[in-house]
Amino acid sequence: MPFLICVGLFTITLSGLSFRSVNAEPIVILEYPGAEMVIDGDGAMHPFRLDPDYSTHHKVMQNETLSHIIANYYGGSGMDKAFVQMAIVKRNRTAFVRANPNYLYAGKSLHLPSLNEIRAMLVRDTKSTKNPEPKRDNREEIFFFGS
């Protein structure tokens, strides 16, 4: 693939200078303050993988999102970010508006759950949970009225 640099209306390539199309649209790159670049790896040396009971806390700063918090703490662990997000919201209901992960209160302290805590939220122990026989009432009966 040729080396490209876009400057104004021109594109500089290894083969020379070429004119860019006027219809070309710019690319927008968003940077968030305090965000660190975390690249997912195999996660063998990640603290959440080394110790399945490892958990920590994080105080939410202004303009910080749950995605950034997950990337900073769980990035590179190999854990599914959707499950981690669900577990954080479930564990910290008062830190979110109506349990919505997109609306996070600044100043709240989040408990970032361990691998075992997340596993316990996803998998219920069927042996210890007894389903008592539901009390029967007349709502389950069918009644016929008339002649």
Q: Domain limits of the chain? A: 4-122
Burial class (CB in 10 A: 0-12, 13-18, 19+), 38: middle
State pLDDT tens for residues 49-70.
Answer: 889 899 999 999 999 999 999 9
Are the CB atoms for 134 and 88 separated by under 8 Å?
no
Contacts of 63 (CB under 8 A, 6+ apart): 32, 33, 106
pLDDT for residue 10: 53
| 3-state SS class at 55 | coil
pLDDT greater at residue 143 or residue 79: 79
Report pLDDT digits (tens) over 1-38. 445 455 555 555 555 545 555 566 666 665 555 545 44
Backbone angles phi and psi of 4, in degrees to 5: -125, 140
- For range 80-105, the mean pLDDT: 93
Residue 28 is predicted with a pLDDT of 61
Alpha carbons 96 and 1: distance in angstroms, whole number: 45
